[in-house]
Each structure stands twice: as structure tokens, then as C-alpha cells.
Amino acid sequence: MAKFTILLVDDEPDFREIMTVRIKSWGYDALTASNGREAVDAVKGKNPDIIILDYMMPDMDGVSALREIRKLNNKVPVIMFTAYPDERSIKGAETLGVLAYIPKISLYTDAQAALKSAIHIAERTLEAQK
């Protein structure tokens, strides 16, 4: 089975570096983008299988980036990974096809475990499509 490639979109370089190692430790290939524009370019050029998207980024917020991504690819599973899940943004992203919303840090859930299971769901969806 070919390795799936995950595109991580986040404006924090430290977080990108840490998460790249984490994603690779789970057995996937990792790509990163530091803003919405780069994310759109990566979707165009590198065709990632799964996207993990932060939605508070300086140039283009995650919801706008997702809108652009959806114009190119309306099937790729997208997981919103965010430091501040507010209801308005969630509503904004709802119509754009989001697999899961995961808080980066939470008192109630283990964020990494939640992210890992969201990726597993995405993986199963992709395998079913094959």
C-alpha cells in the first residue's frame, strides 16, 4: 500500500516542524505550507491525499483557503486543526466539506489522539474510493 501524503497548513514554523515529525511517525508522508496561498499551490502541484488546515492564518484564513482548494479538488479530506474553534468560523467552513474540527489544545480531549483518528477516518474514506 502506497503511503498517503498529508499536507499540513499552518503559519507557525515551530508547529510545522514538530507536526511533520509527528505525522511521519504515524507512517505518512508530510508536506507543509505556511499560508493559504502556498496551500493552494501545493494542492495544485503536489496533489496531497489529506489536508490538515489551521484556520487562523495572517494572509488568507483557513476558510478562504479551503474555498480556493475546493475549486481545485472537491474530494480531498480536510481536517481543521485550530487553536481557537469559534462557532462563526465553523459555520463558515461547514458548507465546504470538512471531515473534522480538532482543537490543537484542549482540556477535555487528547488533541493528537483525536487528530490521529480523524486521519484514520480520512484514510478509510480514500481507500473505499479506490
Partner 1 sequence: MYKEIPKSRDIFSARTEEIRELMNNACFGQRDAQHKRFSDFTSAHNIGKEVALRFELAECLKLLIDRIAETMSVEIISLMLVERNGTRLAIEVARGLSEEAVKNTKVNVGEGVAGWIAKTGESLLVEDITKDERFPSRGGKYYTNSLLSVPLKISNRVIGVINVNNKTSKSVFIKDDLEMLSTVAEMAAVAIENARFRQDARTQEQMRSNFISNVSHELRTPLTAIKEAVCMILEEIIGTVTGEQKRFLEIAKKNIERLNRLIEELLDLGKLESKRCHEKRKLFDVIEVTNAIIELLGPLAKEKAISLTKVLPQQKVEIWGDADRVAQVITNLLGNSIKYNRQNGTIEVRVSETEEAVTISIVDTGVGISPEDAEKIFERFYRVKAHSGEQKHGTGLGLAITKEIVHAHGGKILVESQIDKGSMFTVILPKDLRKKKE
Binding region for partner 1 (CB under 8 A): 12, 14-15, 18-19, 21-22, 25, 56, 83-84, 86, 104-105, 107, 111-112
Nearest to 7 by CA among 36, 43, 31: 31
For partner 1, the closer of residues 54 and 76 by Cβ is 54
Closest approach of partner 1 to the CB of residue 9, in Å: 15
For partner 1, the closer of residues 72 and 111 by Cβ is 111
Burial of residue 103 (CB within 10 Å: 0-12, 13-18, 19+) is: middle
Closest approach of partner 1 to the CB of residue 19, in Å: 7
Say which residue the cell 475546493 belongs to: 70
Closest approach of partner 1 to the CB of residue 105, in Å: 5
The DSSP symbol for 4 reads P
9: phi then psi, degrees, rounded to nearest 5:
-110, 115
